[in-house]
Amino acid sequence: MGFGEDALNCVRAETPGVLRRLHLDNCGSSLMPTPVLATLRQHLELEQNVGGYVAHEQQSVAHEQVYASLAKLLGGTSDNYALTSSAVDAWNKAFYSVPFETGDNLVTAFNEYCSNYVAFLQLSKRLGIEVRVAKAGPDGKLDLKHLENLVDKRTRLIAVAQTPSSSGQINPVARIGRIAQAHNILYLLDACQAVGQLPVNVHEIGCDMLTGTSRKFMRGPRGVGFLYASDKALSRLEPAMLTNQSAAWVANDRYELRRDARMFEDWERGVGNQLGFGAAVDYLLHLGPARVFERTQSVAADLRSKLYSIKDVAATCPADASAAIITFNKKGLTAAEVKKRLEEQDIAVQVASVVHTRLDLGARGVETTVRVSPHYYNTHEEIDRFVGAVDALTA
């Protein structure tokens, strides 16, 4: 069943922010629906009345459901998921727990995110591991043959992003998964920009670890990330740092590490935010992920087509880009100027910089670019308004 007008009207009624502004920065931080906000408020009021510890105890069943909802959406079981303070926190906990040794190498892609890449560089400096980058082919897509040729007996990890933060390109993550499985190599997938706008299933992809966030296309609150770790990953990894949530202190000189993904968690957490994230996952599940993804793709395709037809607009996405992240520059204006002038019209966009995906944008000569990211609650009339506003901008 498609995403009809009644469903759209209902979603927009539960998204009061759409009445105040045209929000096209969903890959930065999307607008929360009212059920998510209600969950946050309810828990904060409970904390106000009984304190944070007791509130957590009283919400223990609801809190456990967050893990079950994630497993329903993405695959695996509740034991395969950890909740963290951010996607970066989740990714770092996974990456720094991989048992690298001097002389090992890791394989990544040319469009990898900055936070991940600086971690690669740090381990390269600290341990002497080699960072091998799979290049783009002549068509601009990730060259899978080159990626597989980079793999050898000292490869400990393949780490890529499903969708980079500075374009709508989508990497062939399931095919990468088959390469990782064929070589029995751990595979870490950054799905931060994919979960909530694209189909993501850990079994179909074949990843061993996957990280994501609440605040982007999932429409949850800030301050929450998550980590999926497969049973294989859990058998190979030990957290780089332990907390009293990771392990039990069972004797004066001994601890016992827990063996589910929650060995990557901290005891201290924003329970209200995590419950709000769970409400956002349930909201997506209730709407039906397949039709949400189809609707998001439709809105993105409409925006991309109309925007790129404007005479003074230069597309900065690769030719194969199809995700709901569209980048461009306007002749005679900087990306920052475009963002400022659109904000004056209550239109929210963002600026992407070469520092975010340096190997990709740098190679293509893009220093900064305007980043637009629609979602399923945006209307085609809003897209027309946005395109008209961009067309009217002059130097």
Asked whether residue 271 falls in the same domain as residue 342, the answer is: no
Which CATH number is 242's domain given?
A: 3.40.640.10
The CATH number of the domain holding residue 295 is 3.90.1150.10
Residue 53 in tokens: 């510890």
pLDDT tier at 213, thresholds 50, 70, 90: very high
Which of 269, 286, 303 is the last residue before a domain boundary?
286
> Rounded mean pLDDT of the chain?
97
Between 380-392 and 289-308, two packed helices, what is the crossing angle to 10 degrees?
30
Looking at the fold, whether 385 and 326 belong to one and the same domain comes out as yes
Q: Is 102 exposed, middle or buried (0-12, 13-18, 19+ CB in 10 A)?
A: exposed
Locate tokens 């995700």: which residue? Answer: 323
SS3 184: coil
CA 113 to CA 97: how far, in whole Å?
Answer: 19
Whether 343 is covered by a domain: the verdict is yes
What gap in Å lies between CA 274 and CA 351, rounded to an integer?
28
pLDDT at 1 over 70: no
- Is the pTM here over 0.85, yes or no? yes
Query: Average pLDDT in the 131-142 region?
Result: 96
What total of structural domains would you count in the chain?
2
- Three-state secondary structure call for residue 224: coil
Q: Is residue 395 part of a domain?
A: no
**Structural domain that includes position 333:** 5-32+288-390
**Angstrom distances, CA of residue 42 to CA of 45, 237, 276, 282, 313:** 5, 37, 10, 17, 46
Which residue in the block uniquely carries the two structure tokens 């002549």? 138
| Token reading at 104 | 């090992």
Is residue 303 within 8 Å of 372, Cβ to Cβ?
yes
Distance, in Å, from the CA atom of 390 to the CA atom of 120, rounded to the nearest integer, reads 38
Q: Mean pLDDT, to the nearest integer, of 297-304? A: 98
Distance, CA of 321 to chain centre: 17
User: Closest Cα to residue 148, out of 178, 124, 103?
Assistant: 178
All residues at 6 or more sequence positions from 101 whose CB lies less than 8 Å from its CB, including other chains: 127, 156
pLDDT tens by residue, 363-387: 999 999 999 999 999 999 999 999 9
